């Protein structure tokens, strides 16, 4: 399975969620299962629109045999996932490297 890494620039909100949606649209349009790794390591804020975008991405990717994985979930992002009780919906890894090691997959490219 193809892996793409998405790294929001400090904030995952409505603006940066368009980039995530574009990755998902490409996968769905081509009917190509892909795992999108959302690397939140350098992300200071995930707002409700960002969380909603990740949940929509998860649903759409799973419909075509893909998935979304979260890495580097710290601080406010972790609190948001805990408070909304959505943490359990996602596969979560400490780092992108730990995800790749656990799954033995290689990335096709990174989106910063």
For 4-16, the pLDDT digits (tens) are 999 998 999 988 8
Number of neighbouring beta carbons within 10 Å of residue 44: 13
List, for residues 36-48, the tens digit of each pLDDT value: 999 999 999 999 9
Q: Can you list the residues of the chain whose pLDDT is less than 70?
A: 105-112
Say what the pTM is. 0.89
- Measure the CA–CA gap between 16 and 94, rounded to whole angstroms: 22
What confidence score (pLDDT) does residue 37 get?
Answer: 96
- Report angle CA 58, 25, 23 to the nearest 5 degrees: 75
* 46 and 12 Cβ atoms separated by less than 8 Å: yes
């Amino acid at each position: 399975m193809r892996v793409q890494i998405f790294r929001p620039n400090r904030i995952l909100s409505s603006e940066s969620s368009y980039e995530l949606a574009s990755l998902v649209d490409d996968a769905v349009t081509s009917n190509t299962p892909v795992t999108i790794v959302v690397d939140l390591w350098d992300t200071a804020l995930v707002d409700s629109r960002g969380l909603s975008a990740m949940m929509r991405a998860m649903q759409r990717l799973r419909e075509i045999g893909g998935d979304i994985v979260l890495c580097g979930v710290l601080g406010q992002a972790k609190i948001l996932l805990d408070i909304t009780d959505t943490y359990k919906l996602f596969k979560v890894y400490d780092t992108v490297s730990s995800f790749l090691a656990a799954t033995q997959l290689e990335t096709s490219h990174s989106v910063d």
